[in-house]
């Protein structure tokens, strides 16, 4: 174990476990990593030793490769003992993808009500081509016409492609719920913004925090607005959640995140996450000296070119930041001749 320090954030474990292996980061708490077929090429999951079995926190996508890795892990590092419970931090596919697969083998699913409802609804809501509401949302956001036409004829991302069917029934947790797992007591603290009702687990009286995507080092969680709720304000929810977590954060906390490396320095990291978005909002206001569509706001937000593969995630995050400014009366919007919203400073 070799510690790495970067901008005041310390990483006690410099290297992640290889697929199929496990790193014990605290007594009875094992860190595993599953591959993802995207730029962010992994998700962290954690196995908590309950003696006669295991509690997992998050699962990875439902793919043949991920199932094969899990089968190797179960037979190897997890010593053939059964998975009795799966705690899911939030409904995104890389976190809940194999929860139903484990349920079918007898595991209990534990998550927030919103996470379960979203995941179950989306796995049942398959679309061969994008829905009319999605196309309209993309048009309003200023997606280029050629890209819009191309994507209108393509199969969009569907949860059911990478999320195992979820049986009817789960165990609900909410903010303030208490859980025992891995020989430790945990308190559930809920955040919002990246996903509604995202559960984080804080060891009662101890240093461990399982952060999911709500508490990440070195990268920013995507804050997106979609056609299902086009006027949502996930940026405001995220900032409020970071501020709420600051009341509990302590330098001794050791955070086990959904991506990247486990880290210490949570109070600093929460301040960084708040300031990162405040800075982006200020740059965006400068950029809106003349009217822009959401698709024309990538440069001030991301400070780098955005390719077609990343365009969708960048677009929903641009709308999220613009919505936040709109809700606070800092910008206004009007429709242009192409049916796209033009965002601008109030006249």
- Count of CB atoms within 10 A of residue 76's CB? 12
Q: Is residue 159 pLDDT above 90, yes or no?
A: yes
Which pLDDT tens digit goes with each residue over 218-232?
Answer: 999 999 999 999 999
Q: Distance between CA atoms of 177 and 80, rounded to whole angstroms?
A: 30
The answer for residues whose C-beta is within 8 angstroms of residue 100's C-beta and 6 or more apart is 62, 109, 163, 164, 165, 166, 167
The mean pLDDT of 72-90, rounded to a whole number, is 97
In this predicted model, what pLDDT tens digit does every residue of 21-70 receive, in sequence order? Answer: 999 999 999 999 999 999 899 999 999 999 999 999 999 999 999 999 99
Pairing of strands 108-112, 171-173: parallel
CATH value at residue 300: 3.60.15.10
Q: Containing domain of residue 88, as a range?
A: 4-344
Q: What are phi and psi of 69, to 5 degrees?
A: -65, -45
Percent of the chain with pLDDT over 70: 98
The total domain count for the chain is: 1
pLDDT at 7: 67
The mean pLDDT value for 74-80 works out to 95
Structure confidence at residue 6 (pLDDT): 66
The reported pLDDT for the residue numbered 347 is 81
* DSSP per residue, 106-171: TPEEEEEHHHHHHHHHHHH---SS--HHHHHHHHHHT--HHHHHHHHTS----GGGTSPPPPS--E
Q: How many CB atoms lie within 10 A of CB 263?
A: 26
Whether residue 340 contacts residue 142, with contact meaning beta carbons closer than 8 Å, is answered with: yes
Q: Give the per-residue pLDDT at 44.
A: 98
Assess whether pLDDT exceeds 60 at residue 1. no
User: Can you name the residues that pair with 228 across neighbouring β-strands?
Assistant: none
Contact 204, 186 (CB under 8 A): yes
pLDDT in tens, 308-317: 999 999 999 9
Look at residues 87, 83, 65 and name the one whose alpha carbon lies nearest to residue 74: 83
* Mean of all residue pLDDT scores within the chain: 96
* Tens digit of each residue's pLDDT (9 = 90 or more) over 235-280: 999 999 999 999 999 999 999 999 999 999 999 999 999 999 999 9
Residue 296 has pLDDT above 60, yes or no: yes
Closest CA to 258 of 210, 290, 302: 210
Contacts 24+ apart (CB under 8 A), 45-50: 46/210, 46/256, 47/22, 47/73, 47/77, 47/78, 48/181, 48/182, 48/184, 49/182, 49/183, 50/84, 50/85, 50/181, 50/182, 50/183
Q: What is the pLDDT of residues 314-342, one digit of tens each?
A: 999 999 999 999 999 999 999 999 999 99
Burial of 90 (0-12, 13-18, 19+ CB in 10 A): buried
């Amino acid at each position: 174990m070799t510690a790495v320090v970067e901008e005041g954030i310390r990483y006690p474990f410099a290297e992640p476990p290889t697929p199929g292996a496990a790193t014990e980061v605290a007594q009875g708490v094992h860190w595993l990593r599953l591959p993802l077929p995207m730029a962010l090429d992994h998700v962290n999951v954690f196995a908590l030793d309950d003696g006669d079995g295991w509690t997992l926190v998050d699962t990875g996508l439902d793919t043949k490769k991920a199932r094969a890795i899990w089968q190797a892990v179960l037979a190897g590092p997890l010593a053939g003992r059964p998975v009795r419970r799966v705690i899911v931090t939030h409904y995104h596919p890389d976190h809940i993808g194999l929860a139903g697969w484990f349920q079918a083998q007898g595991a209990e699913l534990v998550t927030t009500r919103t996470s379960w409802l979203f995941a179950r609804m989306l796995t049942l809501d398959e679309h061969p081509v994008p829905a009319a509401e999605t196309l309209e949302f993309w048009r309003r956001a200023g997606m280029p016409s050629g890209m819009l036409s191309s994507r209108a004829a393509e199969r969009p991302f569907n949860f059911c492609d990478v999320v195992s069917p979820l049986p009817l029934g789960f165990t609900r947790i909410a903010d303030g719920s208490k859980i025992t797992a891995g020989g430790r007591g945990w308190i559930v603290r809920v955040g919002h913004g990246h996903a509604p009702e995202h559960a984080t687990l804080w060891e009662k009286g101890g240093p461990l925090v399982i952060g999911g995507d709500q508490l990440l080092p070195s990268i920013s969680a995507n804050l997106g607005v979609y056609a299902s709720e086009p006027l949502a304000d996930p940026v405001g929810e995220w900032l409020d959640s970071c501020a709420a977590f600051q009341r509990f954060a302590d330098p001794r906390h050791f955070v086990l995140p959904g991506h990247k490396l486990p880290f210490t320095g949570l109070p600093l990291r929460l301040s960084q996450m708040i300031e990162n978005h405040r800075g982006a909002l200020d740059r965006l206001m400068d950029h809106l000296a003349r009217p822009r569509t959401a698709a024309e706001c990538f440069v001030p937000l991301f400070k780098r070119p955005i390719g077609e593969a990343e365009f969708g995630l960048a677009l929903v995050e641009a709308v999220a930041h613009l919505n936040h400014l709109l809700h606070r009366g800092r910008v206004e919007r009007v429709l242009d001749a192409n049916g796209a919203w033009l965002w601008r400073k109030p006249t």
